Structure 1
Amino acid sequence: MARILVVDDQPMVLKCLKSALTADGHDIATVTAGDLALKLVGFQSFDVIITDYAMPGMDGLRFLEITQQKSPGVPVIMATGYGTADTAMEAMQKGAFDYLAKPFSLDALRTTVSAALEYVKARNSIPELTQPDPTALPFPNVVAASAAMKGVCARIVELAPRDGAVLFQGEPGTGKEILARTIHARGSRRDDLFERVDCSRLREGGSIGALLEHSKAGTLYFRQIGSMPPQMQKELSAIILTRRFRAYDGGGDAQLRTRIIASTTTHLEKLTVDGRFNPDLLQALKETTVTVPPLRTRPEDARIHIGLMLRRFLNPGEKVPIEPEALMVLENYPWPGNLPELEETIRNASCISGGMCIRAQHLPRGFLRMATTGDEEQLRQIDLKQFRGRVVKSFLNNIKQEYEHVLDKIEKFAP
C-alpha cells in the first residue's frame, strides 16, 4: 500500500481518482488547491503525488517546484486537460516524473502510478547511501567496503604500532595522506604533531637532518617523495636504515625519534631504472610499501563515498536525494581524478539541482559517455525518443477518446 496525494480543483475528478486508487489498496489524500497541498506535504510524507496542471491560484508547475524543495525525490505526476507538447516538456524538465493528458483512462493512471512506485522502491533500495555498514568505515574518513581497501586497512593495523618508515603509492586523489594520518593517529606518536613536507619544494643543498632537528612533529610526511632532490634521497635512505641523523647544533649524530611516512604517485622503480631515484631508498621502503587502489577498481567504496558526500548537504534524518539513474552513472564512471573529482562532482550536482533530487542531467555531459560503452548522443536520443513517445501516445489516446465520444453522439442521433 502506498500513500498518495492527489491535487485537483475539480471535486468530481478527486472523487473518481480516489475511488480507483483506493480500490488498488492505496491510502489516498485529496485537496483542491496547491497551497493546501503544500501544507500537507509539509508535515506528512507521501510516496507519490498526482497534481493537476491548471488550477486557480498556484498552478501545477509552481506546486511541483516547491514540492521538490520540501520533499526531494518524491515522484510527481502532472495531469491536465490543457496539454500541449511544450507543457509536457516543461513539466518534465522541471522534474515531473511523468505526464498524463486528460481525459486519461484508469489503466493509464494505474500504469503511471505503478511506474512511480517502482521508482520509489528502487530509490529506497540503496541502504548504503544513508546507513553504511559500520565495518565499511574502519577509520575516520576511510571507506573500506571493497576487498582491496580491506587489505590496505589490515596493513595499516599491522604497520601503525611499529616505528619503521612507510610508503604509500597510488594515483593522485586516492587518499594517501588520509591513510598516513591514520597510521599516525594509531601509533605511539598520536599525541605529537603530524607535519607534511612537500618534496617538490625541497631544493638541492637542503638537509633531512636539519628538518628532523628543527621539527617538533611526531611524524614527518614526505609528499611526492619521487620529487625529492637526489642528495636528500641518499641522506634519507641512510637515516631510515641506521635510525640516526646528523645534528647541526654541534651535538654529532642524534637518535631518530620521528616517524617517517612518504607517498608517491609515480612508479619509483621506473625512476630508479632511469637514474632519478635512489635505489637504496627504494629498497629501504620496499618492505613497508602500501599500494592504494584507484576508485574505479572499487565500486563498493565509490557508492559509500557518494552517500557520505551527499549527506553533507542534508539535514539529519533526510534521505539521500539522488535518482537511481544518476547513481548508476556515478558508479560506472571511471573517476580518473579519484576522490577529489568525485567530491567536486557531487558538490556541483547538488548546487545545480537546487538542493532537490540529483538526476543524470545534473551531471557533466561527458559522464554518460565515459560511464557506458555506448555513444553519449545515442543514449540521449533514446531518452528523448522515449519521452516523446509517452507524450505522443498520451495525445493520441486523448484524440481517440474524443473521436469515439463524437461517434457515439452521431450514432445516437442518427436516423
Structure 2
Amino acid sequence: MFRPVANGLRSDYPVPGLPFINDERLPLDNPDAIERTGRDQGEGLWGRTDSLPGGGWVAFTTEPKNRAYAWAVRYHPDHGRTVVLVTDRSWSGLHHDWLYGHNGFLYRHGGYWWNGTAWHRPSVVADGAYERYDVRPVQDALTVTAADLLIHPADPGKAHVSTIAAFTAPTTALPNWLDHLALWAEHRRRVPDARSLDECVVDLKAPELEPGRLVDRAGLAKIADIAEDDLPDPHYAKDQLPEPQAHGASGPLWSQPVARDWAEQHRRTHGPGALLSATTSFGTPQPRGLVDDHNRLAQPITAKDGLMLDFEEVARRARAFLDEEWSHEGMKVVLVEQQHARVGREIFFECQSDAYLRSGDPSDMAVGIGYVCVDAETGACRMLGAVESAILDLF
C-alpha cells in the first residue's frame, strides 16, 4: 500500500498533509543515475529502475544521507513526475503497483487511485480470469488540483522545506499544510517547463468519502452480513481487511462502496462454497469432488511417472525458457528446482532472480512473476502471472 512519508519538492503530485523535502540532489531526468545513487554503493544501499510499458519509467534508491528512507520516482511523458519519500522497507509494494498493478499511479484515501483520467476505488475484488482486480470507478468523483486549493488564503512564510539528512517522518499530518503547498508553488516558478498548477492533481472529493458516510468495524460487519467478532483480527490479520479510508476515535473507517466490495470478495472465499469445499495437498480450497483427483495428480515427480519428457528434460526446458524470455542484462531469472510440483501433465517450478537467491536483498527481487509451467508432453513453457500463481498456491 502507498504510504509515503514526504513529498519531493519537484513532484507534480503533492500528497496532502506531508512535508516537502529538498530533492535537488536527485537527477530526476536520468533514471539510471537515480538507480546508481544507491545500487552497489555500500552495505544497506540499493537502487533500481524499470521502464513503464506505456512509456516513461520508475526509479528507486536508498537515500545515502538518511538510510531509513528511499526515494521513489515515476515519470510519464503525458502525466509528468511523482517524487515521494518512503521508508526503505516499503518500496517494493509501490514498485509492484506502479509497474504491474493495473491500478494507476496516484493513490489517496486508502487506495483510491487515479490513472490520469479517472478515479477508481481500491483494488479489492479479484478477477481470476484476467489475473487482476476489478476496476470500479468512483461515482461523482471530483479531482482536486493545486490550483483549486491555492484559491484559499495561504502564507508560504509560515512553511519550510525540509532537508533529508536530519529528516524524521511526522506521525500526524501538518496542520498548516496549505502554507507548505503555497511554498511548493513558489519553488515551481523556478523549475523550467513545470506543469501548471491546474494540472497538478492533489486529491479527490466524492460523496462516498464524506466523513458522515464512512463506516466502522460494526458497519463493515453489517454490510458483510457477519458478526463483528468474525471480522479478521485488527492486530493479527489486518491485511485481510481493506485499507481504511480514514481513522476515527473508534478505529479504522471505510467508505460504504469499499465495504461492499470487501463483502463481495469475502463471500466468494468464505461463503457457502467454502462449506462444500475441501483442501488439496497444497492447502488450496477446491470443491470436494475435485480434491481427491488433485491430490492424486499433484504428486512429486519421479522418473517412472510415464511422462513423454523426463524431469531433467523438463527442468532443462524451463531453464532455457527463463534464459531466453525473462532474463535480461542486470537480472538473471533462475529456477528454484527444489520447489516443483506436478498437476496432471503440467510441471510447475518456483523461480526468482539469481541475485536475490544469493543476496537475500529485497531490491534484487524479480517482482511480478509467478510459476514457470512446462507441459511434460509437449515441452511448451509459459510464465504464470503472480495472481494466478497465488490462486494455485503450490508451494
TM-score range, shorter chain: under 0.3
Q: Which has the higher helix share?
A: 1
* TM-score (normalised: structure 1): 0.23
- Structure with max Cα Rg: 1
* TM-score (normalised: structure 2): 0.24
Bigger RCO (CA 8 Å, 6+ sep): 1
Q: Which has the higher strand share?
A: 2
